[in-house]
Amino acid sequence: MSQQRQGSTPGNTGAVPAFPDLPEATIARLPEYLRALHNLAETGSETVSSEGLAAAAGVNSAKLRKDLSHLGSYGTRGVGYDVALLIDQIEYILGLDQRRAVALVGVGNLGHALAGYDGFASRGFRIVALFDADPEQVGQALNGLTVRHVEELGRAVVEEGITIGVIATPAGAAQAVADDLVAAGVTSILNFAPCVLAVPAGVDVRKVDLAIELQILSFHEHRKASLTALPGGRSPQAGNQEAVGS
Amino acid sequence: MSQQRQGSTPGNTGAVPAFPDLPEATIARLPEYLRALHNLAETGSETVSSEGLAAAAGVNSAKLRKDLSHLGSYGTRGVGYDVALLIDQIEYILGLDQRRAVALVGVGNLGHALAGYDGFASRGFRIVALFDADPEQVGQALNGLTVRHVEELGRAVVEEGITIGVIATPAGAAQAVADDLVAAGVTSILNFAPCVLAVPAGVDVRKVDLAIELQILSFHEHRKASLTALPGGRSPQAGNQEAVGS
DNA sequence: AGGCGCTTGTGAAGGCGTGCACAAATCGCG
DNA sequence: CGCGATTTGTGCACGCCTTCACAAGCGCCT
Ligand SMILES: NC(=O)c1ccc[n+]([C@@H]2O[C@H](COP(=O)([O-])OP(=O)(O)OC[C@H]3O[C@@H](n4cnc5c(N)ncnc54)[C@H](O)[C@@H]3O)[C@@H](O)[C@H]2O)c1
Ligand SMILES: NC(=O)c1ccc[n+]([C@@H]2O[C@H](COP(=O)([O-])OP(=O)(O)OC[C@H]3O[C@@H](n4cnc5c(N)ncnc54)[C@H](O)[C@@H]3O)[C@@H](O)[C@H]2O)c1
């Protein structure tokens, strides 16, 4: 969904797939369920109904049940879902039991905030290396890590077993950084730079663009405003039908 | 898509809607087209083909043409699209000609980065007010703005004509801040806190959650790894279907 | 032991989005 | 002035996703 995805040909011969190939839409919601489940676990709940979990995750309960049914049958009819079991299952599916190593490239304004964020560690990720091209930034300590020069990226990726790269450089440098990451063996990239990245097949790219989010909100503001201003009316200008013809 | 949307009952009686009600998927892509168009305009291009613009925006050319056709006919067959005209049209549709006023609540780690980001101003947004609950933060100057106490939010929203609020507080405070924003008259919220917000109908909420993005990438890493490790194999554990029953 | 209420899991239907393929339209050139 | 090259705009079919509605299953209470 508005995300770049370069798939690989499965060529799967087995009847039941080694990996339940969930719908993309489902995958995107699993993290939200997981968060809700963790919250429930903290409050001491042993089980949740689909209704309860759906409410906590902000979705329709039918959708939640269908999503979870793709993982297998981990609920009990008449009772609900076992919270701890479901957490384990979702974390397993998402591959969060591996505590993935992440590299962050570009420790500027945004990079500093990301490097100092503790919300990643608590969700199964370790930022294990920071990189920048600016000599001023290189060498400084940030949250227990030393910023290294971007030229060392290739070596570090291999040594630290990094599989995910986060790009927080200006847009002009993003493609070059992405190329370096891919060359080093990174197969997943989270891109904060406002630009389209070209990557080979088999590499996943997800983009986060705050300006785009604001622009989408702006559209809805515009729409709402035009509706309240002219209730049931028509466009302020350019209200052309097929009427005003030659 | 994975975004909260509280629609309002249209009750539209007119034949042709006052506002071209574009598909959500199209709206989400317009900002990307807009960026690509601005890039093209800077390089001096007067016109673009759907093929060219699609490549620059990272989408299929058929999809791009269908998207643009929803706005009207702003292309010329055999030639392409007029770059400047298309920019104007998209900016009008997105409501970017109004330079919307934005409030940022929570100037911590992430909030500082957002407040210092110049990429918003260049895309039609002005951050006009900063708020925090921490007395340590209140009063400090940031990028030409003074951080105000969150209690002043209601007054400021009205005075400054703020329609969009950005929440960058811890998750525990997010709902309360959202309530304040809505009470003050804000109808669009961009939420960085990892939690679900409840808002009344007519208010749009978009959420940005970096941990979710990483978890989605992690899933694909997991999938890719299991495919290469066990080509055509099955799940390491818990491969229960309806077999092991009784 | 049996019945009753509750909740899951899923078949089916409808809606939305995507991409193909082509007709319609425009420009440039001879 | 007509023709061919080019590119837009769109009808159509297909697949994915969502939502409804309900049968199947489970536990509890009597
Ligand atoms: N700051 C925000 O709130 C924000 C919001 C949305 C998007 N973004 C985007 O995130 C990116 C970073 O934003 P920022 O505000 O941190 O910018 P910044 O200029 O503060 O930081 C960029 C950093 O990247 C480094 N860099 C430049 N080229 C590099 C290279 N080739 N290799 C490695 N490092 C390199 C720079 O030295 C600098 O430290 C930009 O693309 C921006 O558009 C930022
Ligand atoms: N830092 C990141 O890179 C990052 C990444 C992803 C998500 N987030 C999320 O963004 C949010 C902010 O993250 P952060 O790292 O900046 O946290 P932070 O603790 O550094 O900043 C939070 C700020 O919010 C203020 N605040 C608290 N309660 C408030 C209230 N009721 N009203 C107004 N302000 C209030 C605090 O005083 C503080 O300044 C969190 O929800 C976090 O999970 C942050």
pLDDT at B132: 98
User: Around A169, how many Cα atoms within 13 Å sit in the side-chain half-sphere?
Assistant: 24
Q: CA A186, CA B5: separation in Å to the nearest integer? A: 35
Q: Which amino acid is at B239?
A: G
pLDDT tens profile A54-65:
999 999 999 999
Q: What band does A20 get if pLDDT is binned at 50, 70 and 90?
A: confident
- B36 CB neighbours in chain A (<8 A) are 196
Query: In b/e form, how buried is each residue of A14-28, taking b as 16+ CB within 10 angstroms?
Result: eeebbbeebeeebbb
Q: Does domain B24-93 have CATH number 3.40.1160.10?
A: no
Instruction: Give tens-digit pLDDT for A58-105.
Output: 999 999 999 999 999 999 999 999 999 999 999 999 999 999 999 999
Q: Which ligand is nearest to the CA of B207?
A: 2
Write down the number of H helices and E strands in chain A.
8, 10
**Helix-strand-coil split of chain B, %, nearest 5:** 45, 15, 40
Kindly give the residue spans of alpha helices, DSSP state H, lying in A95-185: 109-115, 153-160, 171-184
Asked if domains B24-93 and B100-210 share a fold, the reply is no
What span, in angstroms and rounded, lies between the C-alpha atoms of B185 and B34? Answer: 29
Tokens of B38: 């601005």
| Cα–Cα distance, B225 to B227 (Å, whole number) | 5
Residue B230's pLDDT is: 59
Rg of chain A taking only CA atoms, in angstroms: 23
Contact with chain B for residue A113, Cβ under 8 A? yes
Q: Return the half-sphere exposure (C-beta side, CA atoms, 13 A cut-off) of residue A33.
A: 36
CA angle B141, B146, B152 (to 5 degrees): 150
Any idea where the domains of chain A sit in the sequence? Answer: 24-93, 100-210
- Which pLDDT belongs to residue A85? 97
Which residues, other chains included, contact B175 with Cβ-Cβ below 8 Å and sequence gap of 6+? B195, B197, B198
Q: How far is the CA of A23 from the C1' of C14 (A)?
A: 19
Of ligand 1's atoms, which has the minimum distance to the CA of residue A107?
39
Q: For residue A159, give both structure tokens.
A: 């040594």
Query: For residue range B16-65, what is the model confidence (pLDDT) as tens digits?
Result: 345 788 999 999 999 999 999 999 999 999 999 999 999 999 999 999 99
Predicted local distance difference test score (pLDDT) of residue A73: 94
pLDDT above 50 for A128: yes
Into which CATH architecture does domain A100-210 fall?
3-Layer(aba) Sandwich (3.40)
CA B225 to chain centre: 32
Percent of chain A clearing pLDDT 90 (strictly above): 83
Check whether A120 has a pLDDT greater than 60.
yes
Q: Are B29 and B57 in contact (CB under 8 A)?
A: yes
> At A19, is the pLDDT very low, low, confident or very high (cuts 50, 70, 90)?
confident
Q: Is the pLDDT of residue A174 over 80?
A: yes
* Amino acid, single-letter form, for residue A174: A
Q: Give the pLDDT mean for B115-133.
A: 95
Whether A147 and A139 have beta carbons less than 8 Å apart is answered as yes
Alpha-carbon radius of gyration of chain B: 23
In the stretch 221-240 of chain B, residues with CB closer than 8 A to chain A read 221-227, 230-235, 238-240
Probe target for ligand 2 pocket from B107, B110, B117, with the most ligand atoms within 8 Å of CB: B110
The neighbouring-strand residues paired with A131 are A105, A148
Output the CA torsion B122→B126→B132→B135 (10° steps).
Answer: 90
State the average pLDDT for chain A: 88
Q: Is the pLDDT of residue B235 over 50?
A: no
The conformation of residue B196, written as its DSSP 8-state character, comes to P
DSSP three-state, residue A135 = coil
Separation in Å, CA A52 to CA A56, A59, A89, B6, B74: 6, 10, 19, 20, 48
Mean pLDDT of all residues in A162-168: 98
In angstroms, how far is CA A144 from the centroid of its own chain? 25
* Side-chain half-sphere exposure of A116, counting CA atoms within 13 A: 15
Residues 6+ positions from B145 with CB-CB distance below 8 Å = B115, B127, B128, B129, B130
CB-contacted nucleotides of strand D (7 Å):
5-11, 16-21, 24-27
Which ligand has its closest atom nearest to the C-alpha of A104?
Answer: 1
Q: Tell me: the pLDDT tens digits for B175-192? A: 999 999 999 999 999 999
Per-residue confidence (pLDDT) for residue B4, from 0 to 100:
57
pLDDT value, residue B101? 97
